[in-house]
C-alpha cells in the first residue's frame, strides 16, 4: 500500500476519474464506505454515545417512520442540496457515500444486537470509533470526492473565508444540539469520538492516500499542507 503525503488533490468530478488507478481507488472507496456503515452500527449498539451527526440522525428516527439508515440517506441528500449555492460539484465518492453508508448501517443493525454487559458495549464503542477512523481515511484517500457533510464544511469555509476548524466546530455543535433535543444519544462516546477521530484519521491517512497517475495539481485551499480533514458521517 503506497505511502504518500497527506496533501489531497484538488480535483473536479471529471478529473477525479481521469487521475489514474481507478480500479484501486473505487475498490478502496467502496470498502471504506461499507466499513463506515459498520462502524456506525457498532457505536449505536454500544449505546454509550454517538458521533455528532449520528446524534442528529438517531434523534430523527424517533420522530419519523424510517430506519436509521434511511434517515442517514435522506439527510445526505438534503445536505447535497446545500452544495448548490456553494457551487460545489459532487464526485463519484460523494454519490457513493449517499447510497452505501445508510444501507450498510441498516444491514448491520439488523444482525447486531446490543450487549447486556457494559464492558462489551464499551468494546463495541471503542472498536467502532477506531474502525470509523480507518474507514474515513480509506474513502478520503481514494480521492473521489468528499462525503456530503465534509463537502458542506469545506464549501462553507471556501465561500465564507472562515477556517475549517471554526466551520466544523459550529456545524457539529449545531447537529449535536438539535439531535439531543430530538432524543439522540449523547454520552461518553460522543466526547471520545470528538477527541479521537482527528488523530485516528491523521494516523491512518498517510498510508491510504492513493498516489494519482499522472501527478495531479495539489493545493486544496481548505486542506493546507500536512493537514487532514476530520470525519463526519461522510
pLDDT of residue 64: 95
**Average pLDDT rounded to a whole number, residues 93-113:** 96
Q: Is the confidence at residue 83, as pLDDT, over 50?
A: yes
Q: What does the pLDDT read at residue 214? A: 64
Rounded to the nearest 10 degrees, the angle between the axes of helix 164-181 and helix 52-61 is: 30
Residue 231: pLDDT band by 50, 70, 90 thresholds? Answer: low
The CA–CA distances, whole Å, from 26 to 10, 35, 92, 93, 233 equal 18, 14, 9, 8, 19
Residue the block writes with cell 461522510: 234
Provide the β-strand partners of residue 9: 218
pLDDT of residue 220: 44
Say yes or no to pLDDT of 233 above 80: no
Where does the pLDDT of residue 7 fall: very low under 50, low under 70, confident under 90, or very high at 90 and above?
Answer: low
Could you tell me the residue ranges of all domains in the chain?
22-207
Q: Tell me if the bond preceding 214 is cis, omega within 30° of 0.
A: yes
Cell of 84: 448548490
**Does 167 score more than 90 pLDDT?**
no
Q: In this predicted structure, what is the pLDDT of residue 198?
A: 87
As a whole number, mean pLDDT of residues 157-186 equals 89
Residue 218 reports pLDDT greater than 50: no
Position 200 scores a pLDDT of 92
Q: What is the per-residue pLDDT for 6?
A: 56
pLDDT score of 222: 41
Listed in sequence order, the residues at least 6 apart from 46 whose beta carbon sits closer than 8 Å to its beta carbon are: 114, 121, 122, 123, 124, 125, 128, 189
Amino acid at each position: 500500500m503506497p505511502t504518500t503525503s497527506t496533501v489531497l488533490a484538488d480535483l473536479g468530478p471529471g478529473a477525479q476519474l481521469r487521475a489514474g488507478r481507478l480500479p484501486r481507488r473505487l475498490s478502496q472507496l467502496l470498502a471504506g464506505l461499507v466499513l463506515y456503515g459498520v462502524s456506525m452500527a457498532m457505536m449505536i449498539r454500544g449505546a454509550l454515545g454517538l458521533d455528532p451527526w449520528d446524534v442528529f440522525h438517531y434523534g430523527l428516527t424517533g420522530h419519523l417512520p424510517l430506519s436509521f439508515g434511511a434517515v442517514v440517506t435522506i439527510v445526505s441528500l438534503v445536505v447535497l442540496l446545500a452544495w448548490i449555492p456553494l457551487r460545489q460539484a459532487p464526485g463519484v465518492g460523494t454519490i457513493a457515500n449517499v447510497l452505501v453508508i445508510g444501507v450498510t448501517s441498516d444491514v448491520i443493525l439488523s444482525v447486531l444486537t446490543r450487549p447486556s454487559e457494559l464492558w462489551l458495549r464499551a468494546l463495541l464503542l471503542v472498536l467502532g470509533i477506531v474502525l470509523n477512523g480507518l474507514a474515513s481515511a480509506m474513502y478520503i484517500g481514494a480521492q473521489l470526492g468528499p462525503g456530503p457533510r465534509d463537502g458542506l464544511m469545506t464549501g462553507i469555509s471556501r465561500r465564507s473565508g472562515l477556517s475549517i476548524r471554526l466551520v466544523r466546530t459550529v456545524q457539529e455543535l449545531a447537529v449535536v444540539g438539535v439531535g439531543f433535543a430530538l432524543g439522540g444519544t449523547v454520552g461518553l462516546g460522543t466526547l471520545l469520538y470528538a477527541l479521537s477521530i482527528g488523530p485516528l484519521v491523521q494516523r491512518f491517512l498517510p498510508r491510504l492516500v492513493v498516489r494519482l497517475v499522472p501527478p495531479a495539481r495539489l493545493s486544496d485551499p481548505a486542506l493546507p499542507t500536512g493537514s487532514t480533514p476530520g470525519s463526519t458521517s461522510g
